[in-house]
Amino acid sequence: MAHYRVGDESYDMDPTTWPNVDVAAVQRALGCGLSKFMERLEDIDVDAVQALIWVLRRRSEPGLRIADVTFTVREYLAAIETTDDDVKESWPLLDDQQKAALLAGLPEDQKARLFMDGVLIKEPPVPFDAAGSAATET
């Protein structure tokens, strides 16, 4: 199950728990079923992301139309929360550059929990810049 933040609200996004009217609305908007919708979210398809945000917000914002939902891809990527379980599962499979990128996006309290649980190493890997080169301190 993925976790998303929209504004100050946090959601566990499990479409299998959505009311049928939400699933039907997404199907009408995107012209695809639930499994294809989930694939499109993984591919960061902007129409699928727009539909996701719309479903998550529409209960608290009656009258919200899907066309009124705007976002940047950066905002969406930042809204995807990485759970402790996500880190525990993926950490052994990551190279140092991927580990550094993952660590850079985690809140400090989550890093502390994961260090205490023995999931993360004591010293984080050397951070890399956008070009993939090891960052140097000056």
Give residue-wise pLDDT tens across range 54-72: 888 888 888 999 899 887 7
CA 30 to chain centre: 20
Spans of all domains in the chain = 2-79, 82-138
Instruction: Identify the pLDDT of residue 71.
Output: 76
32 vs 109, which has greater pLDDT? 32
Instruction: Identify the pLDDT of residue 81.
Output: 65
Tens-place pLDDT, residues 13-55: 677 788 888 889 889 989 999 889 888 877 778 898 888 888 8
User: Is the pLDDT score of 123 beyond 60?
Assistant: no
98 vs 133, which has greater pLDDT? 98
Longest CA–CA separation in the chain, Å: 56
Cβ-based neighbour number of residue 124 at 10 Å: 15
Roughly how many angstroms between the first and final C-alpha of the chain, as a whole number?
Answer: 41
| Exposure class string for 44-70: b at 16+ Cβ within 10 A, else e | ebeebbbbbbbbbbbeeeeeeebeebe
User: Is the pLDDT score of 2 beyond 80?
Assistant: no
In the predicted model, what is the mean pLDDT of residues 86-100? 80
